[in-house]
Structure 1
Amino acid sequence: MSDEPSVERAQPTGIRGWALWRRPKPFIVFLLLMEALSIPGFALAFAGSGLPNRLEWFGFAILTAGATAHIQLTQRQEERRRSRTRTVLIDLTAVWVFPAVLIIPAELTVLLILIIRAQRWFTARRPAHNFIYSTVSHCLAASLAHLTFDSLGPHVWSSLTLLGSLREFAALIITALVYEAVQIVYVGGILSLAGPSRPTLSSILGSKADNLLEAITTGLGAVTAILLITMPPAVAIMAVVTVVFNRLAELDQLQNDARTDPKTAVYNMRGWSESAERAFGRATRSRGNLALLMIDLDHFKWINDSHGHPAGDDVLRRVAQAIDEATRPTDVVGRYGGEEFLVLLPDTDEITAAGAAERIRGTIAELRIVTTDKRGAQTTIAGRTTSIGVAVYPDHGDTLDILMQAADAAVYEAKENGRNQVRIAAEKLADTPDSP
């Protein structure tokens, strides 16, 4: 029991106590600069706008009602989805915002977004400065997209010819690209400065599935706009569609979580095995080549013992990221367990696989990983080495399990010969028959 009285440091109050000031300086500068730049953007979008007419107010009311129904009916799903999301979160309310971009004035579009965001505040689970910045980016993206669509007009959808419909479709595509590009610059830029770890394209822009979801959501928004102009009562259908779509997005996220290692964000063994078996099946049917790398971090226990397990976790995350960056999109990267990773390389022979393994080994050796030690002080871990085993189908095995055994044996050979090297599997292993 300590003899010294405990002293609590008083947290600054008022503006000085905002969580924003505890973020990295580049983050603060970028956030304030981009918010300042949004002011002339809003002024440009709002310039020359008159008072909304009755039809525009009617469209605003329908979109507001649809968005509110969507948010309220999916509130619990959205809370779960946001809690599980580790990087980019695709906001499905673009189904209501994008049609506003197309058919009502920019001022009403911004008002719609503010109403939506006010309701989202209760499920956002984000610091206030993040939430406000994100709201500004949504409003500015919609305003500039509206300005773009207006500049490509006039738009009279009630009497379109075939050529006219193609022209309007092109205008929709351009408007959607502007809408997404502004958000990418604002949100992607701030995400890249949010933490000490090196950002990746997936952490900034989201995965392929995220971007597909964003494209589908924007497309549904265009459909909502067409319904609002041609058959306003049918917009109620979109409210039902968005609720179902929100549920499907949650299920897809759950399936992805079941296949992903939460510590490193690469496949876990379940996800890796499923993808690897499919790739192996294609290779056997086409009688092609396929390679498997087993990657083992040397002396990883020393990191945990010397710096603590949080530092070890940071090393695993950064190594997984480095492996992912050093491989092709078609390669399958997974965490085997502990400090071991697996990489399956389709259409790869022994020479190419050895080159890929050497590239990964060198990449990991060059890493400088900023983390904390056992006392919470910042430290940098560098010069980490790896032992990598390489096995190739069909030279070293006829099944995925045999290839893994061959690569594992090659890893042990690398470690016995001094570590920090790549070894090719020595011989083809025989399949072990099942016991009677």
Structure 2
Amino acid sequence: MTDAETAPDGSGSGKAGRHPYDPRAWALWKHPRRVIVYLLVMDALALLVFAFTFAASAAPGELDWLRFGILAAGATVHIQFTQRQEESRRAGTSTVLIDLTAVWVFPAVLTLPPILTVALIAIIRAQRWFTARRPANTFLFASISHSVAAVLGHLAFISLGEPNWMSLSPLESLWEFGLVVFAAVVYEGVQIVYIGGVIALSAGKQAKLRNILGSKQDNILEAVTTGLGAITAVLLIVLPPAVAIMAVVTVIFNRLAELDQLLDDVRTDSKTGVLNMRGWSEAADRALTRTARSDEKLALLMIDLDHFKWINDTYGHPAGDDVLRDIAQALDEVTRPSDVVGRFGGEEFLVLLPDIDETSAREAAERVRSAVAKLHIVTTDKRGGQTTISDRTTSIGVALYPEHGTTMEQLLQAADAAVYVAKENGRNQVRLAPDDTP
């Protein structure tokens, strides 16, 4: 489940003398009007969805209450046994957080009446409140977004008839599986619209797709979590006592997610979000080993930002950090999925290009140089006023395997030598490593 921890912050004490929980003191009202209008409109639409759905739904039966109790118990065990891990994960992320409680909410989407699904979410969110430690209005908005996504996912699932999983033919089971996938898409899509919309409006021109949608790893984790929720639904219908197994699985899975995040933190540069030197070196060495075994080509780009010290001296170090982040984002956008992007240190980046020849490597380097030159980076000056930094240039050195070296150290030396040639010849250009590079 996507958690809206990056939604507008309601923290702050507001005017002096007002209690922090006083709605008039919420920092929400200090956000741009477009954000406030979006939140109020989306919440109003959610209330209409709840009113219509609850009125049209039949009252829960005994079996519904039994399933509700099983899911609530499983979710409670999961939450109570993973509080420390969840706090660690929340403290370690600055973007969208993937909440693993979808393992319990998604089976409710598939098997329970909407009113019980919303009640289950309320139980889960009430317990998460003590872990999240977020302002009341932010937490309430996230809870509403989860609830309306679950309700609409349920309506999508039953739109073509009530399922009867106990007596399905092979062909019918394939059809039901398609409906489950459809419900999952609606369930996740509504949350993306809710949460992504408010993040995009809050960030304005500085909004990044990664912050809105989450990273590739985040989305894989979300898909796996929703898939486990579908399995929980099957167990709930066919063999209810076996749902206890999922409680154990979710506790272990939460721990693995925490370890994966810690590993990612160790390998990732905190300022830019790309690999740091440790992470890049590990990935690059693996790529070089594969290239050597397959007798293919490989290229290394060393990208040096021209006159970066001038940015820090003129606008301040926060502006310099914004420039680094935007350039790292541009590198992600103009490189291939197989390319390895990392920060070498200071104002230098590295890109390893597997399976590429000299002509294509030069073209890739030119794309990088051109992309950086086109950037208009919205940031702040030394006094905190908004400013835009543009027309930045880069000096890029290209080293080829095996022409300029057969080890990563040799390739780095060759690319570095090419960067010096570019700078000595006027900067803002791409240069191939000299042929006499050792």
1:274 matched to which residue of 2? 282
Aligned to 2:90: 82
Residue of 172, 185, 207 corresponding to 2:215: 207
1:218 aligns with 2:233: no
Q: Deviations over 1:295-320 (max 9, x none)?
A: 11111111222222111111111111
For residues 131 and 254 of structure 2, what CA distance do their matches in structure 1 show? 15
User: Of the candidates 90, 102, 118, which is equivalent to residue 94 of structure 1?
Assistant: 102
Partner of 2:40: 32
Counterpart of 2:145 in structure 1 is 137
Q: List alignment gaps of at least 5 residues for structure 2.
A: 1-13
- 1:373-384 matches, within 5 Å, as 373-384=381-392
- Give how far 1:152 is off: 2.6
Give, in angstroms, the shift of residue 125 of structure 1. 3.8
Partner of 2:317: 309
Separation in 1, partners of 2:352, 2:177: 41
1:134-283, aligned counterparts within 5 Å?
Answer: 134-196=142-204, 198-283=206-291
Give runs of ≥4 in structure 1 deviating > 6 Å.
Answer: none
Counterpart in the other structure of 2:7: none
Which residue is equivalent to 1:4?
none
Q: CA RMSD in A?
A: 1.8
Change (3 A) 1:116 1:156: same
Structure 1 residues 188-207: Cα deviation after superposition (integer angstroms, max 9, x where no partner): 22222232553333222122
What CA distance in whole angstroms lies between the structure 2 residues aligned with 1:22 and 1:401?
52
- Amino acid of the residue matched to residue 419 of structure 2? V
List per-residue Cα deviations over 1:168-227 (Å, max 9, x = no partner). 212211111111111111122222223255333322212222111111111111111121
Q: Cα distance 1:44–1:86, how it changes in 2: closer, same or farther (>3 A)?
A: same
Q: Residues of 2 paired with 1:24 and 1:345: CA distance?
A: 42
Which of 368, 373, 376 is equivalent to 1:368?
A: 376
- How far apart, CA to CA, are the structure 2 residues paired with 1:12 and 1:417? 63
| 1:46 matched to 2:86 | no
Q: For residue 21 of structure 1, report the CA deviation from its aligned partner.
A: 2.0
* TM-score normalised to structure 1 length: 0.92
Aligned match for 1:122, one of 112, 122, 130:
130
Where 1:194 maps in the other structure, the secondary structure is helix
Instruction: Quickly say closer, same or farther: Cα 1:428–1:24, change in 2 above 3 A.
Output: farther
Distance 1:298 1:125, change over 3 A: farther
**Cα distance change of structure 1 residues 95 and 429 upon mapping to structure 2, 3 Å threshold:** same
Classify 1:333/1:178 alpha carbon distance in 2 versus 1 (closer, same or farther; 3 Å).
same
Amino acid at match of 1:400: M
1:337 corresponds to which of 340, 345, 352: 345
* Alpha-carbon distance in structure 2 between the residues aligned to 1:33 and 1:356: 45
> How many Å apart are 1:39 and its aligned residue?
2.7
Deviates more, 1:199-208 or 1:52-61: 199-208
> Structure 1 residues 25 and 318, CA, compared in 2 at 3 Å: closer, same or farther?
farther
2:9 maps to none
Deviations 1:10-42 (A, max 9, x none): 559554432112223333332222222223322
Following superposition, the deviation at residue 261 of structure 1 comes to 0.3
TM-score normalised according to structure 2 size = 0.92
